[in-house]
Amino acid sequence: MSETASLMVEAIGVRKHFAGVEVLKGVDLKVGRGDVACLIGPSGSGKSTFLRCINHLEKHDAGELLVDGQLVGYELRNGKLYERNDKQICAERARIGMVFQRFNLFQHLTVLENITMGQVRVLRVREDAARARARELLERVGLAGRDGYYPAQLSGGQQQRVAIARALAMDPKLMLFDEPTSALDPELVGEVLDVMRDLARSGMTMIVVTHEMGFAREVANTVYFLDAGIIEEWGDPREVLAHPSSPRLQNFLSKVL
Protein backbone atom coordinates (compact mmCIF):
# COMPACT_ATOMS: atom_id res chain seq x y z
CA MET A 1 0.00 0.00 0.00
CA SER A 2 2.78 2.41 0.89
CA GLU A 3 4.32 1.86 -2.49
CA THR A 4 1.01 2.45 -4.28
CA ALA A 5 0.56 5.69 -2.37
CA SER A 6 3.89 7.00 -3.59
CA LEU A 7 3.07 6.14 -7.20
CA MET A 8 1.52 8.63 -9.62
CA VAL A 9 0.95 6.15 -12.42
CA GLU A 10 0.76 2.39 -12.20
CA ALA A 11 0.03 0.12 -15.15
CA ILE A 12 -0.45 -3.61 -14.71
CA GLY A 13 -0.81 -5.71 -17.84
CA VAL A 14 -2.48 -2.99 -19.90
CA ARG A 15 -3.77 -4.26 -23.23
CA LYS A 16 -5.33 -2.47 -26.17
CA HIS A 17 -6.32 -3.54 -29.64
CA PHE A 18 -7.63 -1.68 -32.68
CA ALA A 19 -9.80 -3.67 -35.10
CA GLY A 20 -8.22 -6.97 -34.21
CA VAL A 21 -4.63 -5.74 -34.11
CA GLU A 22 -3.19 -5.91 -30.62
CA VAL A 23 -1.20 -2.71 -30.08
CA LEU A 24 -0.47 -3.12 -26.38
CA LYS A 25 0.17 -6.67 -25.18
CA GLY A 26 0.34 -6.21 -21.45
CA VAL A 27 2.31 -3.15 -20.41
CA ASP A 28 3.58 -2.80 -16.86
CA LEU A 29 4.96 0.48 -15.63
CA LYS A 30 5.38 2.42 -12.41
CA VAL A 31 6.03 6.12 -12.15
CA GLY A 32 6.57 7.68 -8.76
CA ARG A 33 5.57 11.20 -7.76
CA GLY A 34 8.00 13.76 -9.13
CA ASP A 35 9.61 11.16 -11.40
CA VAL A 36 10.26 11.51 -15.10
CA ALA A 37 9.75 8.43 -17.25
CA CYS A 38 10.76 8.33 -20.89
CA LEU A 39 9.15 5.91 -23.33
CA ILE A 40 11.30 5.07 -26.31
CA GLY A 41 10.86 2.62 -29.11
CA PRO A 42 10.33 2.24 -32.85
CA SER A 43 7.25 3.80 -34.45
CA GLY A 44 4.21 1.57 -34.19
CA SER A 45 5.44 0.05 -30.95
CA GLY A 46 2.45 1.42 -29.01
CA LYS A 47 4.14 4.28 -27.13
CA SER A 48 1.59 6.93 -28.10
CA THR A 49 -1.34 4.59 -27.62
CA PHE A 50 -0.19 3.77 -24.11
CA LEU A 51 0.23 7.46 -23.31
CA ARG A 52 -3.28 8.16 -24.59
CA CYS A 53 -4.68 5.40 -22.41
CA ILE A 54 -3.33 7.17 -19.33
CA ASN A 55 -5.68 10.12 -19.80
CA HIS A 56 -8.38 7.94 -21.33
CA LEU A 57 -8.20 9.43 -24.82
CA GLU A 58 -8.14 5.74 -25.69
CA LYS A 59 -9.89 3.07 -23.62
CA HIS A 60 -7.70 0.16 -22.65
CA ASP A 61 -9.28 -3.27 -23.07
CA ALA A 62 -7.64 -5.19 -20.25
CA GLY A 63 -5.34 -4.73 -17.32
CA GLU A 64 -5.29 -2.12 -14.62
CA LEU A 65 -4.31 1.48 -15.03
CA LEU A 66 -4.17 3.74 -11.99
CA VAL A 67 -3.41 7.44 -11.83
CA ASP A 68 -2.86 8.86 -8.36
CA GLY A 69 -4.25 5.64 -6.88
CA GLN A 70 -7.49 5.81 -8.88
CA LEU A 71 -8.58 3.59 -11.76
CA VAL A 72 -8.61 5.45 -15.06
CA GLY A 73 -12.08 5.59 -16.61
CA TYR A 74 -13.65 3.04 -14.27
CA GLU A 75 -14.78 2.76 -10.71
CA LEU A 76 -14.63 -0.32 -8.53
CA ARG A 77 -17.75 -0.72 -6.38
CA ASN A 78 -18.65 -3.94 -4.58
CA GLY A 79 -16.20 -5.87 -6.69
CA LYS A 80 -17.76 -4.66 -9.93
CA LEU A 81 -16.28 -2.25 -12.48
CA TYR A 82 -18.48 0.67 -13.47
CA GLU A 83 -17.71 2.90 -16.41
CA ARG A 84 -17.39 6.52 -15.33
CA ASN A 85 -19.57 9.08 -17.08
CA ASP A 86 -18.16 11.77 -19.37
CA LYS A 87 -18.21 14.44 -16.72
CA GLN A 88 -16.17 12.37 -14.25
CA ILE A 89 -13.67 11.34 -16.91
CA CYS A 90 -13.26 14.95 -18.01
CA ALA A 91 -12.67 16.05 -14.42
CA GLU A 92 -9.90 13.41 -14.16
CA ARG A 93 -8.38 14.53 -17.46
CA ALA A 94 -8.30 18.16 -16.41
CA ARG A 95 -5.58 17.32 -13.89
CA ILE A 96 -3.48 15.42 -16.44
CA GLY A 97 -1.69 17.75 -18.85
CA MET A 98 -0.99 16.55 -22.35
CA VAL A 99 1.36 17.96 -24.98
CA PHE A 100 0.98 16.75 -28.55
CA GLN A 101 3.41 16.20 -31.38
CA ARG A 102 1.41 18.60 -33.61
CA PHE A 103 0.95 21.20 -30.82
CA ASN A 104 -2.84 21.33 -31.42
CA LEU A 105 -3.17 24.91 -30.25
CA PHE A 106 -6.64 26.35 -30.79
CA GLN A 107 -6.09 28.10 -34.11
CA HIS A 108 -8.87 30.66 -33.73
CA LEU A 109 -7.70 31.91 -30.34
CA THR A 110 -4.78 34.08 -29.34
CA VAL A 111 -1.93 32.72 -27.26
CA LEU A 112 -3.47 34.16 -24.10
CA GLU A 113 -6.95 32.82 -24.90
CA ASN A 114 -5.47 29.37 -25.54
CA ILE A 115 -4.11 29.35 -22.01
CA THR A 116 -7.18 30.82 -20.29
CA MET A 117 -9.71 28.57 -22.06
CA GLY A 118 -9.37 25.55 -19.76
CA GLN A 119 -9.08 27.63 -16.62
CA VAL A 120 -12.26 29.58 -17.36
CA ARG A 121 -14.41 26.84 -18.92
CA VAL A 122 -13.29 23.81 -16.92
CA LEU A 123 -11.84 25.06 -13.63
CA ARG A 124 -14.27 28.01 -13.52
CA VAL A 125 -11.48 30.45 -12.67
CA ARG A 126 -12.40 34.14 -13.04
CA GLU A 127 -11.35 35.68 -16.35
CA ASP A 128 -8.88 38.22 -14.91
CA ALA A 129 -7.27 35.67 -12.59
CA ALA A 130 -6.94 33.26 -15.51
CA ARG A 131 -5.27 35.96 -17.58
CA ALA A 132 -2.81 36.78 -14.83
CA ARG A 133 -1.94 33.10 -14.47
CA ALA A 134 -1.56 32.78 -18.26
CA ARG A 135 0.89 35.70 -18.38
CA GLU A 136 2.89 34.15 -15.54
CA LEU A 137 3.10 30.85 -17.43
CA LEU A 138 4.05 32.57 -20.68
CA GLU A 139 6.93 34.18 -18.88
CA ARG A 140 7.94 30.81 -17.48
CA VAL A 141 8.13 29.28 -20.97
CA GLY A 142 10.03 32.33 -22.26
CA LEU A 143 7.21 33.88 -24.27
CA ALA A 144 6.33 36.96 -22.23
CA GLY A 145 4.60 39.59 -24.35
CA ARG A 146 3.27 37.18 -27.00
CA ASP A 147 -0.26 37.34 -25.52
CA GLY A 148 -2.03 38.66 -28.59
CA TYR A 149 -0.36 36.47 -31.23
CA TYR A 150 -2.30 33.78 -33.07
CA PRO A 151 -0.68 30.32 -33.21
CA ALA A 152 -0.11 30.61 -36.97
CA GLN A 153 2.11 33.64 -36.30
CA LEU A 154 4.50 31.66 -34.08
CA SER A 155 7.32 29.23 -34.89
CA GLY A 156 6.86 25.55 -34.08
CA GLY A 157 9.04 25.80 -30.99
CA GLN A 158 7.07 28.78 -29.71
CA GLN A 159 3.78 27.01 -30.39
CA GLN A 160 4.90 23.96 -28.47
CA ARG A 161 5.92 26.12 -25.50
CA VAL A 162 2.48 27.75 -25.55
CA ALA A 163 0.99 24.25 -25.60
CA ILE A 164 3.02 23.39 -22.50
CA ALA A 165 1.80 26.58 -20.81
CA ARG A 166 -1.78 25.69 -21.74
CA ALA A 167 -1.40 22.30 -20.06
CA LEU A 168 0.29 23.80 -16.99
CA ALA A 169 -2.56 26.30 -16.59
CA MET A 170 -4.75 23.40 -15.48
CA ASP A 171 -2.45 22.86 -12.50
CA PRO A 172 -1.76 19.25 -13.48
CA LYS A 173 -0.41 16.58 -11.17
CA LEU A 174 0.96 14.69 -14.16
CA MET A 175 2.19 15.79 -17.58
CA LEU A 176 2.15 13.56 -20.65
CA PHE A 177 4.32 14.45 -23.65
CA ASP A 178 3.65 12.72 -26.96
CA GLU A 179 6.81 13.20 -29.07
CA PRO A 180 6.84 16.93 -28.26
CA THR A 181 9.83 17.73 -30.46
CA SER A 182 9.28 15.41 -33.41
CA ALA A 183 7.51 18.01 -35.55
CA LEU A 184 10.09 20.72 -34.92
CA ASP A 185 12.97 21.99 -37.00
CA PRO A 186 16.24 20.79 -35.42
CA GLU A 187 17.28 24.24 -34.22
CA LEU A 188 13.97 24.67 -32.33
CA VAL A 189 14.14 21.38 -30.41
CA GLY A 190 16.43 22.82 -27.76
CA GLU A 191 14.10 25.58 -26.58
CA VAL A 192 11.29 23.09 -25.95
CA LEU A 193 13.55 20.59 -24.18
CA ASP A 194 14.84 23.44 -21.97
CA VAL A 195 11.31 24.19 -20.80
CA MET A 196 10.68 20.49 -20.14
CA ARG A 197 13.97 20.21 -18.24
CA ASP A 198 12.94 23.11 -16.00
CA LEU A 199 9.60 21.51 -15.46
CA ALA A 200 11.20 18.22 -14.41
CA ARG A 201 13.51 20.09 -12.04
CA SER A 202 10.49 21.79 -10.43
CA GLY A 203 9.24 18.35 -9.39
CA MET A 204 6.54 17.71 -11.99
CA THR A 205 5.73 14.06 -12.66
CA MET A 206 6.23 13.51 -16.38
CA ILE A 207 5.86 10.70 -18.89
CA VAL A 208 7.60 11.55 -22.13
CA VAL A 209 7.41 9.66 -25.40
CA THR A 210 10.52 10.80 -27.21
CA HIS A 211 13.28 10.08 -29.66
CA GLU A 212 15.64 12.49 -27.89
CA MET A 213 18.04 10.04 -26.26
CA GLY A 214 20.15 12.86 -24.83
CA PHE A 215 17.12 14.23 -22.99
CA ALA A 216 16.16 10.77 -21.75
CA ARG A 217 19.66 10.11 -20.44
CA GLU A 218 19.90 13.46 -18.71
CA VAL A 219 16.41 14.03 -17.28
CA ALA A 220 14.61 10.68 -16.93
CA ASN A 221 14.65 8.61 -13.73
CA THR A 222 13.53 5.61 -15.70
CA VAL A 223 13.49 4.79 -19.37
CA TYR A 224 11.14 2.21 -20.86
CA PHE A 225 11.87 0.60 -24.21
CA LEU A 226 8.59 -0.42 -25.82
CA ASP A 227 8.65 -2.77 -28.77
CA ALA A 228 5.69 -4.46 -30.47
CA GLY A 229 3.36 -3.68 -27.58
CA ILE A 230 5.47 -4.89 -24.67
CA ILE A 231 8.10 -3.32 -22.44
CA GLU A 232 11.22 -5.02 -23.71
CA GLU A 233 13.62 -3.42 -21.28
CA TRP A 234 13.52 -0.73 -18.62
CA GLY A 235 15.64 0.84 -15.95
CA ASP A 236 18.01 3.68 -15.17
CA PRO A 237 18.64 5.50 -18.46
CA ARG A 238 22.41 5.69 -18.01
CA GLU A 239 22.43 1.94 -17.53
CA VAL A 240 19.86 0.95 -20.13
CA LEU A 241 21.01 3.30 -22.89
CA ALA A 242 24.71 2.63 -22.35
CA HIS A 243 24.54 -1.14 -21.87
CA PRO A 244 21.36 -2.46 -23.47
CA SER A 245 20.90 -6.13 -22.76
CA SER A 246 18.14 -7.00 -25.24
CA PRO A 247 19.19 -7.37 -28.89
CA ARG A 248 16.15 -5.38 -30.00
CA LEU A 249 17.12 -2.36 -27.93
CA GLN A 250 20.71 -2.71 -29.17
CA ASN A 251 19.39 -2.73 -32.71
CA PHE A 252 17.08 0.26 -32.04
CA LEU A 253 19.80 2.33 -30.39
CA SER A 254 22.24 1.63 -33.19
CA LYS A 255 19.71 3.24 -35.56
CA VAL A 256 18.80 6.34 -33.57
CA LEU A 257 22.10 7.25 -31.95
Partner 1 sequence: MSTDGDGSIKVVPVRHVGRWVGVAAALVVVAMIVHTLLSRLPTGQRACQGTGASRVCHAVTEWRFSWDIVFHYFTTSEILHGLLITLELTVIAMAVGIVLGMVLAVMRLSPNRVLSGSAWTYTWFFRGTPVLVQLLVWFNIAILYPRISLGIPFTALSFFSVHTNTVFTPLEAACVALGLNEAAYMSEIARAGLLSVDEGQVEAATSIGMVRRQTLRYVVMPQAMRVIIPPTGNEVISMLKTSSLASVIGVIELLGAATNIYSANYEIMPLLLTASLWYLVVTTILSIGQFYLERYFGRGALRTPPPTPLQRMRHDLAGIVAKFPSRRGLAGAVER
For partner 1, give the closer residue by CB, 178 or 233: 178
Which of 86, 186, 187, 202 lies at the binding interface for partner 1 (CB under 8 A)?
Answer: 86
Measured CA to CA, the distance from residue 68 to residue 179 in angstroms comes to: 23
Q: Which residues pair with 233 in a beta bridge?
A: 225
Beta carbon of residue 111, minimum distance to partner 1 (angstroms, whole number) = 10
> Of the two residues 62 and 90, which places its CB atom closer to partner 1 in the complex?
90
- The smaller minimum CB distance to partner 1, of residues 82 and 106, is found at 106
By rule CB under 8 A, what string of x and - marks binding of each residue 170-199 to partner 1?
x-----------------------------
192's CB contacts (< 8 A; 6+ apart) are: 157, 160, 161, 164, 180, 181, 184
Residue numbers 28-67 binding partner 1 by CB under 8 A? 55, 57
**Residue closer to partner 1 (CB basis): 45 or 116:** 116
Nearest distance, CB of residue 208 and partner 1, angstroms = 15
| Calpha distance 192→141 (Å, rounded) | 9
* 56 versus 231: smaller Cβ distance to partner 1: 56
Backbone angles phi, psi at 248, to 5 degrees: -65, -45
60 neighbors 24 (Cβ within 8 angstroms): yes
Site string for partner 1, 149-168 (x = CB under 8 A): -xxxx---------x--xx-
Which residue among 62, 76, 81, 91 contacts partner 1 (CB under 8 A)? 91
Binding mask 95-134 for partner 1 (x = CB under 8 A): xxxx-x-x-xxxxxxx------xx--xx------------
Q: CA 176 to CA 81: how far, in whole Å?
A: 26
Query: What totals of helices (H) and strands (E) does the chain contain, helices first?
Result: 10, 12
Instruction: Identify residues 219-248 at the interface with partner 1 (CB under 8 A).
Output: none
DSSP run (H or E) holding 40 = strand 36-40
Q: Please give the size of the binding site for partner 1, defined by CB under 8 A.
A: 34
* DSSP β-bridge partners for residue 222: 37
Beta-strand pair 70-71/230-235: unpaired
Query: Which residues, at least 6 apart from 133, have a Cβ–Cβ distance to it below 8 Å?
Result: 115, 116, 119, 125, 169
Residues lying near partner 1 in the complex (CB under 8 A): 55, 57, 86-87, 90-98, 100, 102, 104-110, 117-118, 121-122, 150-153, 163, 166-167, 170
